[in-house]
Structure 1
Amino acid sequence: MKKIVPTFILLFTFFLNAQNNNPVFPGWYADPEGIIFNDEYWIFPTYSAPFDDQVFFDAFSSPDLVNWTKHERILDTAEVKWAKRAMWAPSIIEKDGKYFFLFGANDIQSNQEEGGIGVAVSDKPGGPYKDYLGKPLIGKIHNGAQPIDQFIFHDKDGQYYLIYGGWRHCNIAKLKDDFTGFVPFEDGTVFKEITPEGYVEGPFMFIRDGKYYFMWSEGNWTGPNYSVAYAIADSPMGPFKRIDKILQQDPAIATGAGHHSVIKVPNEDAYYMVYHRRPLTEKDGNSRETCIDIMEFDENGHILPVKITNEGVGANPLKK
């Protein structure tokens, strides 16, 4: 005789087994850069707090996207003598066995203030990091772009670019091989503006099927309308024509979903969007948490709208 399990027991078992993996780790963290180093997933976020308290960085590592280890104070203002406050939006890359960690500091509003985009370096992704230059890599405002929200892009020809900018302006520049400065473009300019329609801040770029996907944040970071849009081009220089918004709030889940990065799993057509959002219970602009959800494409290579969830993503251990 077949045993019939009551529906309420099935539902109870489902909810008992259902895992809510968003946020991926506790605490207020924003502007997350996700990346893979040494067969581990890493996230380097902003410690989300009032600017005068936002003076250090933590990092998080995971073997599977579900279980995370915290690496405390990998860099702080005690190490970076010119940085006083508002350290945020890190970007990191490995080159020649060194880990280069770029960050914004001091939230400068004019060329008369000290601050901008700095560089730190370590032998390990989890730090500790040391100030690399003793001064900002970019300490002035070029083409109207506040020197914040830096992203290091490694092109398929080997060239490293810095893409950055706030105040609705985005610049791209060619990094020197040792990351101590910049190489001018053929026309002699150092910073070229590539700002697409709707751009506010938070640039990110990756290559898929030979195309350059450029992504950015729109709206106000303290508001519910914060979101992510994107464009596709044949070159890191663009031109980038806005295609669509692909990450935004869900009033049933969270608000202020934005300032993201993308992790691609090696040897798989699997992409994850790492982003921050604000819980429905929170009104403080700094109450932001880091989350991960799946990012997919249609048959034309366009990015499908990312559904923000409480469940997040399941375990995906990296193959060694």
Structure 2
Amino acid sequence: MEKGFRSIKKLKTEEIYIRDPFVFTDHKRKVYYLFGTTFADGCGDREPQFDVFVSSNLEDWEGPYCAFIPPKGFWGVRHYWAPEVFEKDGFYYMFASFKGGIGERRGTGALISSCPAGPYKPHSPGPLTPKEWECLDGTYYCDQEGQKWLVFCHEWTQEYEGKIKAIRLSEDLKQSRGEPVDILNAAEMSWIRKFSDPRIEKSGFLTDAPFMYTTKSGELLMLWSSYSVKDDGDIGSGGYTVAVARSKSGKVEGPWTHGDDLLLDRNAGHSSLFRNMEGKLILCTHYPDTPHGQERPLFLELNELDNGLTLDS
């Protein structure tokens, strides 16, 4: 693992500041790798980068090590957000959000490494999301026919009604193909509230963090996050949430349905899934979402039903 300019420390889970956490379980090495949004815009004379923390038990961690340090001329210059790591054909691919230079949109690109901890190198020549769109939080999914997909958010800052779409990827994961497929329009959700950012004098319906899961019965679920209205959900906080969309056909193309029940409504969100060393399915999320600066990784066990997921009580 690659050491950077910051000190390597031994940390408990609750001591790690991170947003958008993602855990890759290396069953061969018996190690968990924790990625997320940490050093997103650089600081002083240091460029932005992606970090990785390592653990054998999901409680005691060591890091941060450097997972990706951008080479000179790399297309992403800031907004290093939401890295996710997937294995394919003996290589490890990191899909992450980057913002280009002045006049360029944010998008999701792919990096590659021979080791899950990195170091990662550029793989796609630029964003895999449409270059004219403001996008983020792309996640990788391979369907039952072997088609590779990138599922991503089309930002509310450009669209007002934030959307989640999917686009086909080439077999080598370097290019996207064809037109995007619609999955959801956030404004159509009964539980959602508008999100506002006074810095840009805009408000709209936010979409974050799609993540795909196939149920035992073959239905395809998509976890995603936004903000709920007050008095909706289990505590009525009106905070950050985790919702679930469903494709009963098991296909990315849908049709998709959207229930009113939220998987999580506790000022926590941007969730992904992983299996621990014992094979138990775990929800990985950050909590709390606000106030900013307090975010920590949170791991919650899930029950796998024939056609869905519930939190383990």
Same fold (TM over 0.5): yes
User: Are residues 175 and 245 of structure 1, via their aligned partners in 2, closer, same or farther at CA, if it must alter by over 3 Å?
Assistant: same
TM-score, normalisation: structure 1: 0.72
In structure 2, C-alpha distance between the alignment counterparts of 1:84 and 1:47, rounded to whole Å: 15
SS of residue matched to 2:137: coil
Q: Which amino acid aligns with 1:259?
A: H
CA displacement 1:64-114 (0-9 Å, x = unmatched): 323333351211344562222110011221112211111111288x9x425
Partner of 1:27: 16
Report the alpha carbon displacement of residue 193 of structure 1 after superposing the two structures with TM: 1.5
Partner of 1:290: 297
The 1-side partners of 2:145 and 2:276 are apart by 21
Three-state SS of the structure 2 residue aligned to 1:161 is strand
Question: Structure 1 pair 288/78, CA: closer, same or farther in 2 (3 Å)?
Answer: farther
Aligned residues: 262
What residue in structure 1 maps to residue 268 of structure 2?
257
Q: What is the Cα-based RMSD across aligned positions, in Å?
A: 3.0
Counterpart-to-counterpart distance in 1, 2:26 and 2:183: 29
Tell me which of 232, 253, 262 is aligned to 2:246: 232
* Alignment check: 8 A CA contact 2:150 2:169 kept: yes
Structure 1's 294 and 46: CA in aligned 2 closer, same or farther, altered over 3 A? same
Which stretch shows the higher mean deviation, 86-95 or 258-267?
Answer: 258-267
Unaligned segments of structure 2, at least 5 residues: 1-10, 157-161, 190-205, 229-236
Deviations 1:262-309 (A, max 9, x none): 1135884x2111000128xx73x24311111112245x63432566xx
Q: Is the 8 A contact 2:300 2:311 kept in 1?
A: no
Per the alignment, do residues 306 and 286 of structure 1 end up closer, same or farther by CA in structure 2, a change over 3 Å counting?
A: farther
1:212 to 206, 217, 220: 220
Query: Which whole-Å CA distance do the structure 2 matches of 1:306 and 1:47 have between them?
Result: 29
Q: 1:125 to 1:25 in 2, by over 3 A?
A: farther
Q: Which has the higher strand share?
A: 2
Indicate the residue corresponding to 2:67 in structure 1: 74
1:187-237 alpha-carbon deviations (Å, 9 max, x no partner)? xxx2112115447211000112112111100118xx961110102222222
Q: Which residue of 171, 175, 178 maps to 1:177?
A: 171
Q: Distance in 1 between matches of 2:223 and 2:209?
A: 8
Match of 1:58 among 36, 51, 63: 51
8 Å CA contact 1:28–1:48 kept in 2: the answer is no
Structure 1 pair 141–258 and aligned structure 2 pair: CA distance change class (3 A): farther
Equivalent positions of 1:118-267 (< 5 A) are 118-138=109-129, 140-142=131-133, 146-165=134-153, 166-167=155-156, 168-184=162-178, 190-195=179-184, 197-198=188-189, 200-209=207-216, 210-219=218-227, 225-233=239-247, 234=249, 235-243=251-259, 244-249=261-266, 256-265=267-276
Cα 1:159/1:139, change in 2 over 3 Å: closer
Q: Is the 8 A contact 1:245 1:305 kept in 2?
A: no
Match of 1:45 in 2: 36
CA distance in 1, matches of 2:253, 2:137: 18
Equivalent residues of 2:244, 2:262 under 8 A apart: yes
2:268 counterpart SS class: strand
Deviation at 1:52, TM superposition (A): 5.4
TM-superposition CA deviations, 1:128-165 (whole Å, max 9, x none):
111123433335245xxx32101001223322210001
CA contact (8 A) 1:211 1:232 kept: yes
Q: Would the alpha carbon gap of residues 68 and 149 (structure 1) be closer, same or farther in structure 2, given more than 3 Å must change?
A: same
Indicate how the Cα distance of structure 1 residues 267 and 238 shifts in structure 2: closer, same or farther if over 3 A, else same.
farther
Q: Please tell me whether residue 36 in structure 1 is matched to residue 25 in structure 2.
A: yes
Q: Which moved more, 1:120-129 or 1:152-161?
A: 152-161
Q: Distance in 2 between matches of 1:303 and 1:101?
A: 26
- CA separation in 2, counterparts of 1:96 and 1:291? 30
Output the amino acid matched with 1:117: T
Q: What is the CA–CA distance in structure 2 between the aligned matches of 1:127 and 1:205, rounded to whole Å?
A: 24
| Residue type at the aligned position of 1:217 | S
Whose relative contact order is higher, 1 or 2, with alpha carbons under 8 Å and at least 6 apart? 1
Q: What letter matches 2:99 in structure 1?
A: N
Change over 3 Å in CA distance of 1:141–1:65 after alignment to 2: same
Pair 1:164–1:79, CA change in 2 (3 A)? farther
Cα 1:141–1:225 shift into 2, 3 Å: farther
Q: 1:79 to 1:128 in 2, by over 3 A?
A: farther
Give the number of the structure whose alpha-carbon radius of gyration is greater: 1
Query: How many percent identity over aligned positions?
Result: 24
Structure-2 residue corresponding to 1:272 = 282
Q: What TM-score comes out, normalization by structure 2 length? A: 0.73
Deviation of residue 116 (structure 1)? 1.9
The unaligned stretches of length 5 or more in structure 1 are 1-21, 185-189, 250-255, 308-320
**Residues 78 and 157 of structure 1: CA distance in aligned 2, closer, same or farther (over 3 Å):** same
Q: Contact (CA 8 Å) 2:223, 2:243: kept in 1 or not?
A: yes
